[in-house]
């Protein structure tokens, strides 16, 4: 067998066979996320087939989100292909503090065992109402208090489920979507799987930069997907002034789909600001339970215009049917529990204190970090890999920014959810030492 084919684990005589062999290699670990594939002509020569055949195989896998064409970097396996690829093993060595996982602090989540003991668990059968009226009523009151229209609501299996269903309800492969840069990696992965093109919009502490959004819209974006607060990874949060500027821009593009992922809700540490009210086009705002009540509560409430909500619910009925009423009742019980509400208020205050402590400690060492809201702090650095590895050697695991970035510069993301404020000075000192050492090494 030719050496090239052996090294890439690719075989086949037709486009379907070649695509299947590549998919199998990704699924079994022969090809890893980020691996570069042979050129179309090179692989065609090794397999003895037409370049058209190889190009067709690559195109099939690109449309499914397994491969991505990256210009001069060639065709590569996507960073997170839609396959159960083999796990790379534990990312955090024993004894190292994990500040990379993005999880809320377990000590600031409600006790689900106590809440489940209060559930009535009535039986729910086919043909019954999909969504609990009390859940919708509670969600509507909260949304209305934040100035978000709540006449039409749906319940989805988490924020990403709602985002996917909304995008599919309005867009087609090839459409362009304006997203934040840097952005939550799963959003970029989802766009790739759906065949949608990402148009990056730079964000600062107050949200998407208007000039950048204008550029994206000028390039033909027909949808915007933004995080109004607790933006992952930067912690950006829409200000009232910035929201006004963005609304003016959006008003010049009637019919544009607007999606807001308010995934952290009340623990974001800032008031809700939305672009949805008065938007001239389809829209949806998602509120998830994952950051406030626990990641295993796969439930989100979607508010939107009547047509969008109807499309989302119609597609849901054909597939999963509804979100479990056990989960819905549990969320209702927690939303009504004064103790849980008090705990969430403490969580919002604690996350704010921890973010501010680290951002302040870094500033005192000459490092400008971002963390206006949410669970993360984003720090631009000269060299991501060296910084991540240097901090790992000092006992801290943080996440490099490459998976989040589109055009923005190198950075690291530090999840501060479980970082005590008293630890911020020590962490900042280690970050500063690592960054400055990396800068000297790079300069040399």
Per residue in 329-353, pLDDT (tens digit) is: 999 999 999 999 999 999 999 999 9
Question: Of 70-79, 162-171, 179-188, 239-248, which gets the smallest average pLDDT?
Answer: 70-79
Q: What is 97-106+340-443's CATH topology?
A: 3.90.1150
| Average confidence score pLDDT of the chain | 92
pLDDT band, very low/low/confident/very high, at 441 (cuts 50, 70, 90): low
Strand order in the sheet with 411-415: 376-380, 411-415, 399-400
Nearest CA-CA partner of 139 in 115, 114, 162, 169: 162
- Would you say residue 90 has pLDDT above 80? no
Section 152-172 average pLDDT? 97
pLDDT band, very low/low/confident/very high, at 79 (cuts 50, 70, 90): confident
Question: Of 118-132, 275-289, 378-392, which gets the smallest average pLDDT?
Answer: 118-132
Question: Of 29-33, 103-107, 249-253, 371-375, which gets the smallest average pLDDT?
Answer: 29-33
Cα torsion angle, 270, 410, 189, 175, sign: positive
**CATH 3.40.640.10 boundaries in the chain:** 114-336
**CATH 1.10.10.10 boundaries in the chain:** 3-77
- Predicted local confidence at residue 444, as pLDDT: 39
Q: What percent of the chain stands above pLDDT 70?
A: 95
State pTM to two decimals. 0.87
- Would you say residue 65 has pLDDT above 60? yes
Name the phi and psi angles at 120, rounded to 5: -90, -25
**CATH 3.90.1150.10 boundaries in the chain:** 97-106+340-443
What does the pLDDT look like over 378-407, one tens digit per residue?
Answer: 999 999 999 999 999 999 999 999 999 999
- Would you say residue 420 has pLDDT above 70? yes
Domain 3-77 has CATH 3.40.50.300: no
114-336, which class in CATH? alpha beta
- Would you say residue 9 has pLDDT above 80? no
């Amino acid at each position: 067998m030719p050496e090239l084919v052996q090294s890439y684990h690719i075989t086949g005589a037709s486009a379907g066979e070649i695509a299947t062999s590549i998919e199998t290699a990704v699924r079994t670990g022969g090809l890893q996320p980020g691996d570069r594939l042979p050129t179309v002509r090179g692989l065609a020569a090794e397999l003895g087939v037409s370049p058209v055949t190889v190009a067709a195989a690559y195109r099939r896998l690109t449309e499914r989100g397994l491969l991505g064409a990256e210009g001069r970097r060639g065709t590569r396996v996507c960073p997170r292909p839609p396959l159960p690829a083999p796990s790379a093993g534990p990312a955090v060595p024993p004894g190292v503090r994990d500040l990379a996982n993005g999880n809320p602090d377990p000590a600031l989540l409600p006790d689900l065992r106590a809440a489940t003991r209060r559930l009535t668990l009535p039986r729910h059968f086919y043909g019954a109402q999909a969504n609990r009226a009390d859940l919708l009523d509670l969600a509507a009151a909260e949304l209305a208090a934040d100035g978000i229209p709540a006449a039409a609501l749906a319940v989805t299996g988490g924020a990403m489920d709602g985002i996917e269903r909304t995008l599919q309800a309005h867009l087609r492969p090839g459409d362009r979507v304006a997203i934040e840069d840097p952005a939550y990696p799963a959003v970029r992965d989802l766009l790739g799987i759906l065949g949608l093109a990402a148009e990056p919009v730079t964000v600062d502490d107050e949200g998407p930069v208007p000039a950048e959004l204008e550029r994206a819209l000028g390039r033909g974006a027909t949808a915007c997907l933004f995080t109004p607060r607790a933006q992952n990874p930067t912690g950006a949060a829409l200000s009232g002034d910035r929201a006004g500027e963005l609304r003016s821009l959006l008003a010049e593009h009637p019919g544009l789909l607007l999606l807001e992922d308010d995934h952290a809700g009340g623990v974001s540490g800032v008031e809700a600001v939305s672009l949805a009210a008065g938007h001239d086009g389809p829209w949806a705002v998602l509120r998830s339970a994952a950051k406030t009540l626990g990641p295993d509560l796969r439930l989100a409430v979607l508010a939107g215009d009547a047509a969008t909500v109807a499309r989302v619910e119609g597609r849901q009925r054909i597939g999963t049917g509804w979100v479990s009423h056990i989960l819905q009742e549990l969320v209702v019980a927690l939303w009504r529990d004064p103790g849980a509400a008090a705990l969430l208020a403490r969580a919002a205050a604690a996350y704010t204190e921890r973010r501010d402590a680290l951002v302040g400690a870094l500033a005192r060492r000459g490092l400008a970090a971002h963390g206006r809201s949410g669970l993360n702090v984003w720090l631009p650095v000269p060299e991501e890999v060296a910084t991540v590895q240097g901090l790992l050697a000092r006992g801290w695991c943080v996440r490099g920014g490459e998976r989040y970035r589109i055009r923005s510069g190198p950075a690291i993301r530090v999840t501060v959810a479980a970082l005590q404020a008293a630890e911020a000075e020590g962490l900042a000192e280690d970050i500063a030492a690592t960054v400055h050492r990396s800068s000297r090494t790079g300069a040399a």
